Chain A
Amino acid sequence: EVQLVESGGGLVQPGGSLRLSCAASGFTFSSYDWHWVRQVTGNVLEWVSAIGIAGDTYYPDSVKGRFTISRENAKNAVYLQMNSLRAGDTAIYYCARVKVEGGIWYFDYWGQGTLVTVSS
Protein backbone atom coordinates (compact mmCIF):
# COMPACT_ATOMS: atom_id res chain seq x y z
CA GLU A 1 0.00 0.00 0.00
CA VAL A 2 1.31 3.42 -0.96
CA GLN A 3 1.72 5.71 2.05
CA LEU A 4 2.99 9.26 2.19
CA VAL A 5 3.37 10.94 5.57
CA GLU A 6 4.37 14.58 5.91
CA SER A 7 5.82 16.13 9.04
CA GLY A 8 7.61 19.25 10.18
CA GLY A 9 4.86 21.84 9.97
CA GLY A 10 4.12 24.32 12.71
CA LEU A 11 4.04 27.96 13.73
CA VAL A 12 6.99 30.10 12.67
CA GLN A 13 7.66 33.82 12.74
CA PRO A 14 8.06 35.84 9.55
CA GLY A 15 11.62 35.49 8.30
CA GLY A 16 12.00 32.11 9.97
CA SER A 17 12.70 28.68 8.56
CA LEU A 18 11.09 25.24 8.57
CA ARG A 19 11.99 21.89 7.08
CA LEU A 20 9.18 19.65 5.93
CA SER A 21 9.64 15.92 5.44
CA CYS A 22 7.64 13.38 3.48
CA ALA A 23 8.21 9.72 4.28
CA ALA A 24 7.13 7.26 1.62
CA SER A 25 6.49 3.54 1.77
CA GLY A 26 4.90 0.73 -0.20
CA PHE A 27 6.69 1.24 -3.53
CA THR A 28 10.10 1.98 -5.10
CA PHE A 29 10.64 5.58 -4.04
CA SER A 30 13.62 6.26 -6.30
CA SER A 31 11.60 5.58 -9.47
CA TYR A 32 9.42 8.68 -9.14
CA ASP A 33 9.51 12.44 -9.40
CA TRP A 34 8.23 14.30 -6.33
CA HIS A 35 6.45 17.58 -5.86
CA TRP A 36 5.25 19.78 -3.04
CA VAL A 37 1.87 21.47 -3.45
CA ARG A 38 0.32 23.86 -0.96
CA GLN A 39 -3.26 24.86 -0.24
CA VAL A 40 -3.64 28.43 0.87
CA THR A 41 -6.55 30.48 2.19
CA GLY A 42 -9.61 29.99 0.03
CA ASN A 43 -8.51 26.43 -0.75
CA VAL A 44 -6.43 27.51 -3.72
CA LEU A 45 -3.87 24.88 -4.72
CA GLU A 46 -0.40 26.11 -5.64
CA TRP A 47 2.51 24.11 -7.00
CA VAL A 48 5.58 24.79 -4.83
CA SER A 49 8.48 22.65 -6.01
CA ALA A 50 9.53 19.56 -7.93
CA ILE A 51 12.45 17.15 -7.94
CA GLY A 52 13.16 14.65 -10.67
CA ILE A 53 14.58 11.16 -10.49
CA ALA A 54 18.01 12.57 -11.34
CA GLY A 55 17.76 15.26 -8.67
CA ASP A 56 16.88 18.13 -11.01
CA THR A 57 14.76 20.73 -9.23
CA TYR A 58 12.12 23.25 -10.27
CA TYR A 59 10.34 26.12 -8.51
CA PRO A 60 7.80 28.80 -9.27
CA ASP A 61 9.02 32.39 -9.00
CA SER A 62 7.06 32.86 -5.77
CA VAL A 63 9.41 30.58 -3.79
CA LYS A 64 12.56 30.48 -5.92
CA GLY A 65 15.61 31.35 -3.83
CA ARG A 66 13.74 30.73 -0.57
CA PHE A 67 12.63 27.08 -0.81
CA THR A 68 14.80 24.05 -1.57
CA ILE A 69 13.48 20.61 -2.39
CA SER A 70 15.69 17.56 -1.91
CA ARG A 71 15.36 13.81 -1.82
CA GLU A 72 17.08 10.99 0.02
CA ASN A 73 16.39 7.73 -1.78
CA ALA A 74 18.07 5.63 0.92
CA LYS A 75 15.48 6.89 3.41
CA ASN A 76 12.54 7.00 0.98
CA ALA A 77 12.07 10.65 1.82
CA VAL A 78 11.63 14.02 0.19
CA TYR A 79 12.20 17.31 1.97
CA LEU A 80 11.29 20.97 1.61
CA GLN A 81 13.57 23.49 3.28
CA MET A 82 11.71 26.77 3.59
CA ASN A 83 13.62 29.94 4.47
CA SER A 84 12.67 33.61 4.72
CA LEU A 85 9.09 32.62 5.35
CA ARG A 86 6.31 35.14 4.80
CA ALA A 87 2.70 35.36 5.92
CA GLY A 88 1.68 34.39 2.39
CA ASP A 89 3.43 31.04 2.80
CA THR A 90 0.83 30.02 5.38
CA ALA A 91 -0.80 26.89 3.99
CA ILE A 92 -1.25 23.17 4.20
CA TYR A 93 1.71 21.59 2.43
CA TYR A 94 1.27 18.29 0.60
CA CYS A 95 3.88 16.04 -0.93
CA ALA A 96 2.69 14.32 -4.08
CA ARG A 97 4.03 11.50 -6.19
CA VAL A 98 4.18 12.03 -9.93
CA LYS A 99 3.27 9.36 -12.42
CA VAL A 100 4.06 9.66 -16.10
CA GLU A 101 2.00 7.86 -18.70
CA GLY A 102 2.11 8.51 -22.40
CA GLY A 103 3.92 11.79 -21.84
CA ILE A 104 1.29 13.03 -19.37
CA TRP A 105 2.35 13.85 -15.80
CA TYR A 106 -0.11 13.71 -12.93
CA PHE A 107 -0.22 13.36 -9.15
CA ASP A 108 -1.39 9.85 -8.40
CA TYR A 109 -0.81 9.90 -4.63
CA TRP A 110 -0.81 12.70 -2.06
CA GLY A 111 0.17 12.81 1.57
CA GLN A 112 -2.26 13.95 4.25
CA GLY A 113 -0.66 17.39 4.48
CA THR A 114 1.14 19.39 7.17
CA LEU A 115 0.08 22.87 8.28
CA VAL A 116 2.56 25.73 8.18
CA THR A 117 1.52 28.98 9.85
CA VAL A 118 3.71 32.06 9.47
CA SER A 119 2.75 34.64 12.04
CA SER A 120 4.27 36.83 14.74
Chain B
Amino acid sequence: DIQMTQSPSSLSASVGDRVTITCRASQSISSKLNWYQQKPGKAPKLLIYAASNLQGGVPSRFSGSGSGADFTLTISSLQPEDFATYYCHQSYGSTWTFGQGTKVEIK
Protein backbone atom coordinates (compact mmCIF):
# COMPACT_ATOMS: atom_id res chain seq x y z
CA ASP B 1 0.00 0.00 0.00
CA ILE B 2 1.06 3.57 -0.63
CA GLN B 3 1.84 5.36 2.66
CA MET B 4 1.00 9.03 3.03
CA THR B 5 2.97 11.09 5.56
CA GLN B 6 1.75 14.54 6.54
CA SER B 7 3.73 17.15 8.40
CA PRO B 8 3.38 18.66 10.81
CA SER B 9 0.85 16.59 12.75
CA SER B 10 -0.34 19.77 14.42
CA LEU B 11 0.43 23.46 14.33
CA SER B 12 -0.60 26.63 16.13
CA ALA B 13 -1.19 29.74 14.08
CA SER B 14 -2.85 33.12 14.31
CA VAL B 15 -5.57 34.63 12.17
CA GLY B 16 -3.92 36.11 9.10
CA ASP B 17 -0.94 33.76 9.11
CA ARG B 18 0.19 31.84 6.06
CA VAL B 19 0.01 28.13 6.76
CA THR B 20 1.66 25.32 4.82
CA ILE B 21 1.00 21.60 5.25
CA THR B 22 3.00 18.99 3.39
CA CYS B 23 2.14 15.46 2.33
CA ARG B 24 4.64 12.92 1.06
CA ALA B 25 3.74 9.67 -0.66
CA SER B 26 5.86 6.54 -0.36
CA GLN B 27 5.99 6.37 -4.16
CA SER B 28 5.05 8.57 -7.06
CA ILE B 29 1.31 9.10 -7.36
CA SER B 30 1.36 11.53 -10.27
CA SER B 31 -1.22 14.20 -9.39
CA LYS B 32 -3.71 11.81 -7.78
CA LEU B 33 -3.73 13.70 -4.50
CA ASN B 34 -6.67 15.35 -2.80
CA TRP B 35 -7.07 17.48 0.32
CA TYR B 36 -9.96 17.50 2.78
CA GLN B 37 -10.89 19.66 5.76
CA GLN B 38 -12.66 18.19 8.78
CA LYS B 39 -14.19 20.06 11.69
CA PRO B 40 -15.15 18.34 14.96
CA GLY B 41 -18.26 16.20 14.64
CA LYS B 42 -18.50 16.72 10.89
CA ALA B 43 -17.63 14.71 7.82
CA PRO B 44 -14.55 15.59 5.78
CA LYS B 45 -15.08 18.23 3.12
CA LEU B 46 -13.25 18.32 -0.20
CA LEU B 47 -10.97 21.32 -0.65
CA ILE B 48 -8.54 20.47 -3.43
CA TYR B 49 -8.54 17.65 -5.99
CA ALA B 50 -5.90 16.49 -8.44
CA ALA B 51 -3.23 18.24 -6.36
CA SER B 52 -4.09 21.81 -7.36
CA ASN B 53 -7.72 22.14 -8.41
CA LEU B 54 -9.93 24.13 -6.06
CA GLN B 55 -13.32 22.55 -5.41
CA GLY B 56 -16.26 24.81 -6.19
CA GLY B 57 -17.25 27.05 -3.30
CA VAL B 58 -13.90 26.74 -1.51
CA PRO B 59 -12.27 30.11 -0.76
CA SER B 60 -9.34 31.10 -2.97
CA ARG B 61 -7.04 31.44 0.07
CA PHE B 62 -6.68 27.65 -0.17
CA SER B 63 -4.27 26.33 -2.77
CA GLY B 64 -2.50 23.08 -3.52
CA SER B 65 0.65 22.22 -5.40
CA GLY B 66 2.96 19.35 -6.15
CA SER B 67 3.21 16.20 -8.22
CA GLY B 68 4.98 12.88 -8.01
CA ALA B 69 5.47 12.22 -4.31
CA ASP B 70 5.54 15.66 -2.66
CA PHE B 71 2.54 17.89 -2.20
CA THR B 72 1.62 21.07 -0.33
CA LEU B 73 -1.60 22.63 0.93
CA THR B 74 -1.33 26.35 1.60
CA ILE B 75 -3.74 28.68 3.35
CA SER B 76 -2.62 32.17 2.38
CA SER B 77 -4.30 34.06 5.22
CA LEU B 78 -5.76 31.90 7.99
CA GLN B 79 -9.33 32.74 8.96
CA PRO B 80 -11.20 31.77 12.15
CA GLU B 81 -13.29 29.19 10.26
CA ASP B 82 -10.13 27.44 9.01
CA PHE B 83 -9.22 25.96 12.37
CA ALA B 84 -9.75 22.28 11.65
CA THR B 85 -7.92 19.07 10.75
CA TYR B 86 -6.65 18.62 7.19
CA TYR B 87 -6.07 15.31 5.44
CA CYS B 88 -4.34 14.39 2.22
CA HIS B 89 -5.64 11.41 0.25
CA GLN B 90 -4.17 9.44 -2.64
CA SER B 91 -6.31 7.74 -5.26
CA TYR B 92 -3.47 6.33 -7.35
CA GLY B 93 -3.43 2.65 -6.54
CA SER B 94 -6.17 0.09 -6.09
CA THR B 95 -5.99 0.77 -2.35
CA TRP B 96 -6.65 4.37 -1.43
CA THR B 97 -4.97 5.83 1.64
CA PHE B 98 -5.03 8.98 3.72
CA GLY B 99 -2.45 10.97 5.60
CA GLN B 100 -2.69 10.95 9.38
CA GLY B 101 -4.02 14.50 9.47
CA THR B 102 -2.74 17.93 10.47
CA LYS B 103 -4.62 19.76 13.19
CA VAL B 104 -4.54 23.53 12.83
CA GLU B 105 -5.12 25.20 16.18
CA ILE B 106 -5.47 28.78 17.36
CA LYS B 107 -2.30 30.35 18.72
Contacts and interface: CB of A to CB of B under 8 A. Distances in A.
B71 interface: no
Interface residues of B, number: 26
B83 interface: no
B100 interface: yes
Contacts, number: 60
B102 to A, nearest CB: 11
A5 to B, nearest CB: 11
A47 B1 CA distance: 12
Interface of B: 1, 31-32, 34, 36, 38, 42-46, 49-50, 53, 55, 85, 87, 89, 91, 94-98, 100-101
Given A58-B95, A106-B89, 9 more contacts: A43-B38, A58-B94, A102-B50, A104-B34, A106-B49, A106-B50, A106-B91, A108-B46, A110-B44
Interface of A: 35, 43-47, 50, 58, 60, 94, 99, 101-102, 104-113
Enumerate the 6 nearest inter-chain pairs by beta-carbon distance, A residue then B residue, closest first: A110-B43, A104-B50, A45-B98, A105-B91, A106-B49, A106-B34
